Amino acid sequence: MELNGTRVYVENLGCAKNQVDAEVMLHALVQAGCVAVETADGADVVLVNTCGFIEPARKESIDTFFALREQYPAAKVVLTGCLSQRYGKELDQELVEADGIFGNRDLRRIVPFVRRLLQSARPVEFPT
């Protein structure tokens, strides 16, 4: 599946490492033909780059996901980041509203992950 013109927005939560991870993922997606957008308005894919370090950060991540899911029902809204990596199995079972779950262990996998996502799959990837 071609990604040319697919609009991607990243909502980044958490630490400086998350910011770097977000930039790495976005760069890879842009190299594959996606277009980075500054807001979720009109985005085809919304990556919620989560933090799972402390309970308030986990809550903020989930709350942000639900807010974006509700506000942008036409977009594919995906949980990424350390919350997804650490609690991927639980999120997969309990957060069926997510269009996909992508951990942060192997960021190079984001391009094939988004390709699967756009083929109407519900990809879940949190490598150990």
- 61 in a structural domain: yes
Residue 26 structure tokens:
């976005």
For residues 69 and 98, what is the distance between their CA atoms, to the nearest angstrom? 8
> Smallest Cα–Cα separation from 110: which of 51, 23, 41?
23
User: For the domain that residue 117 is a member of, what is the CATH number?
Assistant: 3.40.50.12160
Residue 115 lies in a domain: yes
Q: In degrees rounded to 5, what are phi and psi of residue 42?
A: 80, 0
Domain range enclosing 58: 7-123
> What total of structural domains would you count in the chain?
1
**pTM for this entry:** 0.95
Q: Is residue 1 part of a domain?
A: no
pLDDT string in tens for the chain (128-residue length): 689 999 999 999 988 889 999 999 999 999 999 999 999 999 999 999 998 888 999 999 999 999 999 999 999 999 999 999 999 999 999 999 999 999 999 999 999 999 999 998 899 998 87
Q: What is the CA radius of gyration of the chain?
A: 13
Q: Is residue 2 part of a domain?
A: no
Distances in Å between the Cα of 90 and the Cα atoms of 19, 87, 111, 128 are: 24, 5, 24, 15
Cα(82)–Cα(53) distance, rounded to whole angstroms? 8
